[in-house]
Amino acid sequence: MHHTKTILKNGMRVITVPMKDTKSLTLLVLFGTGSRSETKRINGVSHFLEHLFFKGTKSRPRPGEVSQALDDIGAEHNAFTGKEYTGYWVKAAARQFPLALDVVSDILLRPLFKEEEIEKERGVIFQELSMYLDMPRRYVHNLFETLLYGDQPAGWEIVGTRESLGRLRRKDILAYRASHYVGSNAVLVVAGAVDAGDAERRIQEAFMRFSEGSPKQQKPIRDQQLQPAVHLEFKKTDQTHVVIGARAYGMFDERRYAAILLATILGGKTSSRLFQEIREKRGLAYTVSASAEEMTDTGYFSVYAGVPHRKAKEVVRRIRQEFANVRDNGVSAKELRCAKDYWRGQFAISLESSDEVASFYATRELFYREIVPPEALMERIEQVSVADVRRVAQEIFQTRHMNLAIIGPHRGHLEFVGLLSV
C-alpha cells in the first residue's frame, strides 16, 4: 500500500494513503499524549480536553455547531483518549474532504474553551464516569490495570476520578494543551479516496499555524511484582467478571509477536483453547477472550470471562491450568499455523477500511517513527516459531507475576489468591 509523508515546519507529520475502490476517506489526527502524561492533581485532563475541543470554536461558537457541520454531510466523527495517545477523526465522502479538514483544524487551532462549557462538560464526564462504573464487563479491565501498575499514571483511570475532575480549572486545561499539543507530537493521516498532492497542500495551509515545540515526556513505568495479587470489588451483578493475567511486553520488544499469537491460541477466536474449554465444552461463560496489550515501555497478557457467580473459582482455576499447560507443554505446529493465518486474515480485512488504515499508519509513525508496509508486519508474524511461543509462555505465566481482578458479589479475596499458583 503506497503512502507519502511530509513534515510541516512546526514538526507535524502528514501522511496520505490513497486507497482504490472506495468513495470515502478518513482524516485522523493522533497526538502522543494521554493519561500517562498527567500528574495526579490533573488526572483526567487529557480526556476532558478531548471533549472540550468539540464545544465551540471562533468560527463555530455555538455548542453543537461543530457536530452539526459534520452531521449535515453524513460524516462519522469522534475522538478517543488512551494512556499514551489522543485522537480526533472524521470519516466522510471523499468529496467532503475540504469540509472535514476545515472542521478538524478548526477545533484543534481555534477552540474557545468557554468557562460555562467547561462546567457543563464536567457534568457530562461525571455521568460518563458513572456509566463506566455501571459497566462491569468494561470496568474490570480498568481494575486489572490499576492492580498491575498501582499509584502511578499507568495505573490511573483515563477519565480521572470525581476528585481530580472536580479540581480541574480552565488554566490547567490550557496549560496542558500548550505543553502537549505541539506539532512534533502530532501525526495527521488521510486514508481513502484522496489525491495526495491536493491533500498535502490543503493540510499545509490548514495547519501551518499549529504550535511548535517539544512535548513533556511521560515518566517511565515502575514495574515490579514479587507475589501474586488479587483485587476483588464487591458488586451485586448478574454475573461475575474476571480478568486474569500478568505483565508481558512493550511495543518495542520483539517478543510481542509471539505474545500476540499466544493470545490468539488461548482466547483470540472461537476455536481457541479457552473458548472451547470454558464455553463450548462446559458452558461456563458466554464470553471468554485473551489479549496481549502494549504500551511503549510495558505491556500485559490477560484473559477475560463473564461467568456464573458460583462458578467463578472454577473458571479461574481452569484458566490458570491452561496457563500452566501452555507454559509446560507449549503449542503445536498446527495451532501456531492456524493462529498466524487467523491474524493475517483479520489484518487483511482491517486494511479494507480507511479508518483502520489511518489508525495503522498514524500509530506506526507516532510511536515507531517509521512506517513498515503491512506485508513486512505479516512477515514478522510468520517468523515466530513454536519455541518462541513456549518461551514467552514460560516468562509470562509465573506464579509471582499473576494478577486477578474480579467484580461480583464475592467476599474474601484470599480465597482467590490461592488459585493463582501455576
Contact in structure between 24 and 356 (CB atoms under 8 Å)? no
Q: Which CATH architecture has domain 229-420?
A: 2-Layer Sandwich (3.30)
Positions annotated as catalytic residues are 50
DSSP string, 104-117: HHHHHHSB---HHH
Distance, in Å, from the CA atom of 311 to the CA atom of 138, rounded to the nearest integer, reads 20
**Residue 217 DSSP label:** P
The confidence score (pLDDT) of residue 281 equals: 97
The confidence score (pLDDT) of residue 127 equals: 98
CA-wise closest residue to 164 among 289, 328, 47: 47
The confidence score (pLDDT) of residue 421 equals: 84
Quote the cell numbers at residue 419: 488459585
| Cα separation of the two ends of the chain | 44
CB-side neighbour CA atoms (13 Å) of 97: 24
Contact in structure between 75 and 25 (CB atoms under 8 Å)? no
Q: pLDDT under 50 in the chain at which residues?
A: none
CB-side neighbour CA atoms (13 Å) of 356: 9
CA-wise closest residue to 297 among 44, 47, 83: 83
The confidence score (pLDDT) of residue 6 equals: 97
229-420 has the same fold as 4-207: yes
The confidence score (pLDDT) of residue 24 equals: 97
**Which pTM was predicted?**
0.95
The confidence score (pLDDT) of residue 412 equals: 82
CB neighbourhood size of 409 (10 A): 12
The domain locations on the chain are 4-207, 229-420
AA identity, residue 401: H
**Residue 366 DSSP label:** I
Classify domain 4-207 at the CATH class level: alpha beta
